[in-house]
Structure 1
């Protein structure tokens, strides 16, 4: 998002004078900061208001559509909307990449609805990454009241009785990539008429399709193109009434938040050349954007031996700010990174509000994945109707659901990319009003670095979306799905990319496909089981043991950590303890309880190097990129007091190990170089461990990933390298492009890591620099100062840019 903004760096500490307040965002911020004697704000960025630029309606927009939009208050399109719509209507594949609330939906609705109104047989398919967004778009379409369009949502929540009607009669189907993959494409024979007449495919919020998920979606779209070509008929473009305009399939129109190189990303996603529209000409209200670092907690007088400084929890700080906002009548959305975190923030805010004004806590709720469909819909209605004043949500509401009238957004922890940061901040301030956004830093290396280095967030272009359709762990399963839908032919392989033939040969060798003169045939009577989101296993149902009531689900990959026996599970503010976890049946049985402790799973990891793809020889330092095997097992969990964080005990678990073949970046340092830098042999494990934690924490600064997308391992002597080594690996089969990015900018990444450690004011290491919330070894051993020495050696020998991957 290219903003012209001014900034104010705020001195922290008692007695610091707040800057002069000008708008409503500033007034709310001034109220928030009064809660602490130590000013928590490290920086304020002011984004000025911006006027919009309108243009005339394209000549091909029918009067009926202009009138319907006029009834909704749309008198004329913004310039960027008309530009993207013109490209799409002319048959060009196009991506519109502009800011939040810039009206991207108009850019794809104009050509799509104009075509549906002109051609009674034409159809449109809309894809959203979340059900909530598709449902919101369906509501907006229905309100236009255009005859014959018949928009309908077709997803996992759609009743069976309605599905057949939608297949037969809806001309504007709204769904998600998961349903396209699991339901529509496997049953393509039932969708023959719809696919034959498909004119446009709308891919909304396409910047969310990154990593393994994005790579899978890229092939789902290629499978869709393949089925459309099978059923193709000449399609008439309304702008050319003199004769049919032949094309090989539907026009793709993609909408994205502002991102780096959106055209290249859209081309990797669709397999088509794509034009990009990036100039945002919509109006925008001013935004006050504050960076907020929770204060340090007072020393633990009961444990004087523990001198590790600890900051107030970002979750608790966000909950208090959310309660303050609601008390002031400010409609506020708090983004929280985890499902559990969203529940904790909502519960804490409700408790605080009820203590201040009995009954006010009802105006706050949590929103996250794993809820039952009826719960999600009820929460969406309550927020839109104003019944709820505050919501603590995972990124499920980051996307374009129209949350009219929000005044403030709280962001609990850096969301991983600048694109997501601005997307979340943009949820507030619609209709041109002033808005407030606050990034509340977690106590970890990246968040601490960012709140003290605002130049890393503001005035910089957002990241490019990373996806790799050539990932063999994605390509092979997707080709199996395509073959199950219809036999593969040599012509099909070109659609799936240069690695398709090798992947097909592997499937034949494995007995999954049978080669015949007419193509390659799927041999198994059952369909391939492929999870688009790279999750390990089917979802696990969370069931209340006493009643049999289904509370929700957790994904299979997280079940070992979230619903292991003894785990505390939160659902809509109610606390449960897990009695048992049956992985074979995909069921966790729980009972309601309110213990005064929380649970934290611990795992052990081993790693084997399989192949080196590229390396840089830097004397005593080596930087490598390659393929690795990672074996991990959750072996125990800690119980910690909620009030103090004190560890009560550690209890063993008996869960199966899991294996992951993926990509990693790693560096080695010779023992002699470490000794020369003053790192004693006994301190090498702690130094490498601390450097590993900080490097994982800072990788999202240079790659479009989340620290939970990646893992790491460090050792004083690794058997495959024979030297002190630090590994950082992608947490998805086959890799997700993060390790490659880290290798390409290794010097920049590790320099920021070194700075984050050295700038921290703690003595021995803390969550702000080298401690990790996901460490399976309980953050032991760690040697903060020696980690700086290790990174000094690496940076002194490493060239500015390693060799590119071979």
Structure 2
């Protein structure tokens, strides 16, 4: 039995199960290392060394060099390729040097220090990054999350003293930009803005975030005029995508450099295209139906867990994640009563402490199997996984590859299976793997000029600071006509200095 057959036999208890339609192997990749840059402070390098990171990868250093030189950059490499170090290194170096300068000159007021704003689409990812930064144990770095869960009593201290703030787009929109006068010192010192999982900002959500980035740049320019950092450097981390540089440039509205060559090591991944067997049940036109992807995935998960293979099963719905977990536990109870407790579901809707406990159990190996929505697709640090199951088409090639990339994160070989649902699209894809592997991944699509999105953001921007004629270019060619429509509708008022918000309530909530 060769290596591929050995991998497949873990799924179906046979090297050639009848449900197997195709097999593709993603080849292993060797690491390409690069020396630490000369500008990196020895204390920061030593902090990474204490965690066992002695030789960074080339793509990490290329991205860090661009950011350190003042250029906006997006790093678009595969899952578990170490993108975090690429944006942490310049940010932490700037913070550390700034704080050392303050300590060396006691009594002197410093208003030109360096701070960083980190934005992520989920609280779970921000919490994971906070843990990673604190693990470096740099005494000069005061990292804190600032989101809806942050206690009111802590918020003022964070505004005044934290130098690495982790937030999300909602908090930036509702809590930070409308109250920018409270954050004046922070904005004057803002050196880097980190946008994690930038590929997730697509569609209407991406259009909102694109306008939010323009409002952020506008506030930064207001407070940064005449300072050492008139506008912060934007650094994005993205999954593999089509033309990520162009996409991120549209998101923030300013030119961007792109790093997309992945130089991190990765074991080979055997990808199985799996179509559940026909049943006796009749579907449309009297044709036999196939077994559901949920039931089939639960069977495969039970097979893998019983072989002590650490596995994640992805599915779109929260109900599906709970169902797979429940069926898997029942199947495992018949084999080994000790195994059901080592399987769990992971989805949004859990309390933060419940999610943290599940993530710790998965990292430590206490959990062998997890059924999850896309909540675990993003870059939460979970290493040592052996297998991934994808129940039903996740919607995009980028999402599929992001999920598959969850296995083999420590460089070991891995197995992944795409389990087809009983619908025409899945049936086609499971029988035509070239439609997935031989076509480039999708571009991130959004429209910052969508009037139903841009209009409310123009109101919010006018409430933050009156919009002057010179700023119209920032919001695109349709912004002036849209502003005049908002004047006619009574939301804004036009004066010689620009457009003003006229309502007593918050424009951010409009």
| Partner of residue 99 from structure 1, selected from 78, 83, 107 | 78
Go from structure 1 to structure 2 and tell me whether the alpha carbon gap of 1:495 and 1:332 turns closer, same or farther (over 3 Å shift).
same
Structure 1 residue 509 displacement after superposition:
1.3
Mapping of residues 700-711 of structure 1, within 5 Å: none
1:127-166 equivalences under 5 Å are 127-166=119-158
Distance 2:175 2:355 in 1: 22
In structure 2, C-alpha distance between the alignment counterparts of 1:455 and 1:118, rounded to whole Å: 50
2:474 aligned residue (492, 495, 504): 495
CA distance in 1 between partners of 2:45 and 2:441 (Å)? 34
Task: Give distance in 2, aligned partners of 1:434 and 1:36.
Answer: 17
User: How far did 1:384 drift?
Assistant: 2.4
Partner of 2:363: 384
Q: Does 1:22 align with 2:3?
A: yes
From the superposition, tell whether residues 40 and 234 of structure 1 become closer, same or farther in structure 2 (CA, over 3 Å). Answer: farther
Matched position secondary structure for 2:3: coil
Whether contact under 8 Å (1:197, 1:233) holds in the other structure is no
Q: Deviations over 1:3-36 (max 9, x none)?
A: xxxxxxxxxxxxxxxxx4316xx53421322379
Measure, in 2, the Cα distance between the counterparts of 1:388 and 1:200. Answer: 37
1:346 corresponds in structure 2 to: 325
Aligned partner of 2:108 in structure 1 is none
Match of 1:186 among 158, 170, 178: 178
Where does residue 97 of structure 2 map in the other structure? 118
Q: Confirm or deny: 8 A CA contact 2:12 2:300 kept in the other structure.
A: no
Q: Which residue of 2 aligns with 1:214?
A: 206
Asked if the contact 2:173–2:508 (Cα under 8 Å) also holds between the matched residues in 1, the reply is no
1:82-93 superposed matches below 5 A: 82-93=61-72
TM-score (norm 1): 0.60
Query: Is 2:456 the counterpart of 1:477?
Result: yes
Q: Does the 8 Å contact 1:419/1:462 carry over to 2?
A: yes
State how far apart, in whole Å, the 2-side matches of 1:447 and 1:71 are. 46
1:260–1:465 CA contact under 8 A, matched in 2: yes
Pairing 1:337–2:316 present: yes
Distance in 2 between residues matched to 1:461 and 1:156, nearest whole Å = 38
Equivalence for 1:33: 12
CA distance in 2, matches of 1:470, 1:233: 27
d(CA) in 2 for partners of 1:257 and 1:453? 24
Q: Post-superposition shift, 1:167?
A: 1.2
Residue number in structure 1 paired with 2:107? none
Matches within 5 A, 1:708-723: none
- CA gap 1:235/1:76 in 2 versus in 1, 3 angstroms: farther
Match of 1:55? 34
Contact 2:114 2:189 (C-alpha < 8 Å) held by counterparts = yes
- Tell me what 2:103 maps to: none
Q: Higher helix fraction: Structure 1 or Structure 2?
A: 2
**Partners of 1:481 and 1:440 in 2: CA distance:** 45
- Greater CA radius of gyration, 1 or 2? 1
On the 8 A contact 1:157/1:373 being kept in 2, the answer is no
The runs of 4+ residues in structure 1 deviating greater than 4 Å are 35-38, 233-236
Q: Does 1:432 align with 2:417?
A: no
Q: 1:375: how far off?
A: 2.5
- Tell me, what secondary structure is at the counterpart of 2:224? coil
Q: CA deviation at 1:104?
A: 0.9
Taking the TM superposition and a 5 Å limit, the aligned residue runs for 1:179-578 are 179-236=171-228, 248-299=230-281, 307-528=286-507
- Counterpart CA distance in 2 for 1:234 and 1:60 is 25
Deviations for 1:443-480, whole angstroms, at most 9, x for unmatched residues?
11211111111111113321111111011111101111
Q: How many residues align?
A: 497
Asked whether the 8 Å contact 2:9–2:16 carries over to 1, the reply is no
Residues 372 and 506 (structure 1), Cα distance of their counterparts in 2 relative to 1, 3 Å cut = farther
Which residue in the other structure is 1:77 paired with? 56
Question: Which whole-Å deviations, capped at 9, do the CAs of 1:26-84 have from their partners, x for residues lacking one?
Answer: 53421322379961111111112111111111110010011111111111221111111
Change (3 A) 1:467 1:185: same
What do the CA deviations read for 1:640-669 (whole angstroms, capped 9, x no partner)?
Answer: xxxxxxxxxxxxxxxxxxxxxxxxxxxxxx
SS in 2 for 1:231: helix
Question: Is the CA contact 1:28–1:325 (under 8 Å) kept in the aligned structure 2?
Answer: no
Native 8 Å contact 2:64 2:90 kept in 1: yes
**In the TM superposition, what whole-angstrom CA distance separates every residue of 1:727-780 from its partner, at most 9, and x where no partner exists?**
xxxxxxxxxxxxxxxxxxxxxxxxxxxxxxxxxxxxxxxxxxxxxxxxxxxxxx
CA offsets per residue over residues 336-357 of structure 1, 9 Å max, x none? 1112211211122122222332
Greater strand fraction, Structure 1 or Structure 2: 1
Contact 2:188–2:227 (CA<8 Å) still a contact in 1? no
Q: Which segments of 5 or more consecutive residues in structure 1 lack a partner in the other structure?
A: 1-19, 237-246, 532-806
Q: Which has the higher contact order (CA 8 A, sep 6+)?
A: 2
CA contact (8 A) 1:383 1:389 kept: yes
Cα offset, 1:359, TM superposition: 4.5
Q: CA RMSD in A?
A: 1.9
Q: Match of 1:432, SS?
A: coil
Sort the Cα spacing of 1:505 and 1:517 in 2 relative to 1 into closer, same or farther, 3 A.
same
- Distance, in Å, in 1 between the alignment partners of 2:128 and 2:23 is 33
Could you tell me whether the CA contact under 8 Å between 1:336 and 1:412 is conserved in 2? Answer: yes
Q: Distance in 2 between matches of 1:499 and 1:513?
A: 16
Cα 1:161–1:21 change in 2 (3 A) is farther
| Cα distance between partner residues in 1 of 2:410 and 2:362 | 17
Which deviations, in whole Å up to 9, do the C-alpha atoms of 1:549-600 show, x marking residues without a partner? xxxxxxxxxxxxxxxxxxxxxxxxxxxxxxxxxxxxxxxxxxxxxxxxxxxx
Instruction: Specify whether residues 105 and 37 from structure 1 end up closer, same or farther in structure 2 by C-alpha distance, changes over 3 A only.
Output: closer
- Report what 1:172 is aligned to: 164
Q: Distance in 1 between matches of 2:259 and 2:275?
A: 37
Rounded Cα–Cα distance in structure 1 between residues aligned with 2:156 and 2:7: 51
Change (3 A) 1:37 1:145: closer
CA contact (8 A) 2:174 2:508 kept: no
